[in-house]
């Protein structure tokens, strides 16, 4: 299968700071990228969908000004958690799709805000 | 809105047993269904992908079936091993290019 690389795999930041998470498709062009969040013992919940060169579409209840998504190229999407707070601590994972039926997932990022 | 339910939430079996994990979804109009494995603190490993026109897929000791009309899928694991211990997630895609809707997963523990 195709490879999606997500960095960092874990990050600890202070409350009030911003954190950027990168998601790269290494061997295919990702026309669409999805960002999910997973709280402990919960399922993955879709946060937003981004198409290359367009503004991201956010799911209901997800603050677009807090979770900034950029998908400027066909191989890179970034998620920036702005002014992070402890309640933003979670597991964030990206998924990339590009003209195939299957979406491929990154390794995920464990964010801890202290 | 598509809802995905997985039963049981947790399962503990002795090594060597065959087991079945269940997944149900509320809207039968799906594009495909995918089973994943997630190890603690890790990302997702895709196990099997079943297109809406297919009835089952097999990979090694794993077999996944799909009954779209009844909104059900099962993941069959033969001759379970301790290394199979993980959380298994079922996810459905409503349309091509859309995001996946995930169930909460079944946490599997296979004891030696």
Q: Can you tell me the distance from the alpha carbon of A90 to that of B29, in angstroms, rounded to the nearest whole number?
A: 31
- As beta bridge partners, residue A69 has A79
pLDDT of residue A15: 97
> Residue A103: pLDDT above 90?
no
pLDDT of residue A100: 61
Nearest CA in chain A to B32: A101
Q: Can you tell me the distance from the alpha carbon of A44 to that of B102, in angstroms, rounded to the nearest whole number?
A: 6
Tell which B residues from 73 to 92 touch A, by Cβ distance under 8 Å: 89, 91
Split at pLDDT 50, 70, 90, the class of B71 is very high
User: Is A21 buried (19+), middle (13-18) or exposed (0-12) by CB count in 10 A?
Assistant: buried
Least confident of A28-32, A54-58, A97-101, B13-17: A97-101
Split at pLDDT 50, 70, 90, the class of A82 is very high
**Residue B74, CA atoms < 13 Å, CB-side half-sphere:** 8
pLDDT tens for A58-78 read 999 999 999 999 988 889 999
Cα of A29 to nearest chain B Cα, Å:
14
Mean pLDDT of B69-84: 97
Whole-number mean pLDDT of chain A? 91
């Amino acid at each position: 299968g195709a490879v999606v690389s997500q960095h960092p795999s874990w990050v600890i930041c202070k409350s009030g700071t911003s954190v950027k998470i990168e998601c790269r498709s290494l061997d295919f062009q990702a026309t669409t990228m999805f960002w999910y969040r997973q709280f402990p013992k919960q399922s993955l919940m879709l946060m937003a969908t981004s198409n290359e060169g367009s503004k991201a579409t956010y799911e209901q209840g997800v603050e677009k000004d807090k979770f900034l998504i950029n998908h400027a190229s066909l191989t890179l999407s970034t998620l920036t958690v702005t002014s992070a707070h402890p309640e933003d601590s979670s597991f964030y994972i990206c998924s990339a799709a590009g003209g195939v039926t299957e979406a491929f997932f990154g390794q995920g990022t464990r964010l801890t805000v202290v | 809105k598509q809802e995905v339910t997985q039963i049981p939430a947790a399962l503990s079996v002795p090594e060597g047993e065959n087991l079945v994990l269940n997944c149900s979804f509320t809207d039968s109009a799906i594009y495909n269904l995918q089973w994943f494995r997630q190890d603690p603190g890790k990302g997702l490993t895709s196990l099997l992908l079943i297109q809406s026109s297919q009835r089952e897929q097999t990979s090694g000791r794993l077999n996944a079936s799909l009954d779209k009309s009844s909104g059900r899928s099962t993941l069959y694991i033969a001759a379970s091993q301790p290394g199979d211990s993980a959380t298994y997630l079922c996810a459905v895609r409503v349309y091509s290019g859309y995001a996946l809707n995930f169930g909460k997963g079944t946490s599997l523990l296979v004891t030696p």
